[in-house]
Amino acid sequence: MRNRNLWLAIIGLLAVFALWVDFSETQIAIDFLGIRREIRTVLGLDLQGGIQILLEADVPPNQPVDRGNLEDTRRIIENRVNALGVSEPVVQIAGTRRIVVELPGITNLEQAVNTIKQTGLLEFVDAGAAPIPEGATVRTSLDVSPTETVPLTGTPTLTPAPALTETAPITGTGPVSPTERVYRTVMTGRNLRSARPELDEFRQPQVAFTLDAEGTRLFAEYTSQNVGRYLCIVLDKKVISCPVIQEPITQGQGVIRMGSGSTLADAEALAVTLRYGALPVPLKIVDTRNIGPTLGRESIQRSLIAGIVGFATVALFMVLYYRVPGVLAVLALSLYAALVFAVFKLLPVTLTLPGIAGFVLSIGMAVDANILIFERLKEELRAGRNLALAIDYGFERAWPSIRDSNISTLITCVILYVFGLNFGASMVRGFALTLAIGVAASLFTGIWVTRAFLHVLLDRFSAQAPGRWFGI
């Protein structure tokens, strides 16, 4: 009895939580990352429209583009867009030198475009005795051939800058003009192991990074030998910040502070660019346009009506055929629907029409589990067992069939999801994901929720309950 009461308490808390999420349009704050995210329903491109960006290889027209490099570029762009929080993007190759990017429900076009086309070459540059201004474009030793000699011009003036320490922010400003001067690249972003956005103690955006073993060694050697000199962080030849080295950095960790006026979204975009590396093929934007939903609001309404009609039909069948257990199964099924929709909003899962189809299919599988259980329950009652034992035996003996069928469905979902991941079929991925979530939730509601409801309602009755209560 204590276990059943515990299960009822857990089920009640889950129901309240699911309903709160389903009807909430609020925000959840993750303070240690400084990220705020809305709890909301995310719709796919086919239901809400979005932005289409046409990219082309930025190389001479007569220069061929390697197909493998173009595919790697497409994959990196897809990773960057996914990291920005754009759900179910469509990123595909068009022709021999173009890539089409479709972003559903995008609100910050400029940020998305900048992140997509960013080449992402990160360099740690030796600036010498004086800092380089933030935003300045510089020429580095990677731009110079081994036989080329370039004069170093200009006599910069030393100005104070914040410290660069083990965990100190990397920042700094100065009046230096880097024109025609070539700066030595100490290390590139290939030694970067991770990068993540965060807020500092003053709630200002920054990007914390860690280096791999080789990068840690190079960084430790350089900073040990150049205390008091300036080390600039340069992205695509543009200076992000230029701090002074006050002490050796030996742990391979640091922080890139964003410039004045930067937002957390800017830090997130920079972290995404650094995390997913440089594009093998430089790109230019050929066209940007708004695209309307391919199916639209009318399709959403029709899908909603179809789902309600289907749910009502299933509920009516369960009540008429299985009587009391059927009523309890409908209650459990209602909790199932609320719980799954809450998961969709929390993850979030992008709802496309194929995704909605996966959700509706999982409802049918949840009912299928209940049917197997109730048929076993009726057999146990016909065999003369008392009600409590019949409930327990019915669930236990139906469990192997339910387990095997659901595992086979989950394996199919994994195969479909991997197929969609490798071949860019995002609609297939959406169907597989919603179906898998629905199957997992149906196992919980079909086995534990319905069982708890049956015991709480029927255990108080006599051992021989009227057969008409169970459709016998």
Q: Summarize pLDDT for 213-248 with one digit per residue, the tens.
A: 988 998 899 989 998 899 888 877 888 888 888 888
| pLDDT over 80 at 278, yes or no | no
- Hey, what amino acid is at 213? A
Q: 3-class SS at 170?
A: strand
* Rounded mean pLDDT, 447-456: 82
DSSP string, 75-132: HHHHHHHHHTT--S-EEEEETTTEEEEEEET-S-HHHHHHHHH----EEEEEEETS--
**Which residue shows structure tokens 């992402």?**
120
Q: What is the pLDDT of residue 33?
A: 43
Instruction: Please give the span between the terminal C-alpha atoms of the chain, in angstroms, as a whole number.
Output: 27
DSSP 469: G
167-176, 334-343, 346-355, 358-367: which range is least confident on average? Answer: 167-176
pLDDT category of residue 426 using cuts at 50, 70 and 90:
low
What strand order describes the sheet that includes 192-199? 169-170, 253-257, 205-211, 192-199
8 A C-beta contact, residue 44 and residue 104: yes
| pLDDT over 50 at 157, yes or no | no
pLDDT category of residue 30 using cuts at 50, 70 and 90:
very low
| pLDDT over 60 at 100, yes or no | yes
pLDDT in tens, 337-352: 888 888 888 887 877 7
Query: For residue 187, how many C-alpha atoms fall within 13 Å in the half-sphere facing its CB?
Result: 20
Tokens representing residue 55 in the block:
């990219």
Can you state the angle between helices 387-423 and 450-458, rounded to 10 degrees?
160
Q: 3-class SS at 52?
A: strand
pLDDT category of residue 156 using cuts at 50, 70 and 90:
very low
How does the average pLDDT of the chain come out, rounded? 77
Sign of CA dihedral 147, 150, 156, 161: negative
| pLDDT over 50 at 159, yes or no | no
Give the ranges where 226-347 is alpha helix by DSSP (H).
264-275, 296-322, 324-346
* Residues paired with 244 in a beta bridge: 163, 230
Tokens representing residue 280 in the block:
């093998």
8 A C-beta contact, residue 270 and residue 235: yes
What Cα–Cα distance (Å) separates residue 180 from each residue in 7, 188, 239?
72, 21, 15
Shortest CA distance to 390 belongs to which of 444, 333, 471, 464?
Answer: 464
8 A C-beta contact, residue 54 and residue 284: no
Alpha carbons 363 and 307: distance in angstroms, whole number:
10
| pLDDT over 50 at 162, yes or no | no
pTM > 0.75 = no
Q: What is the pLDDT of residue 411?
A: 94
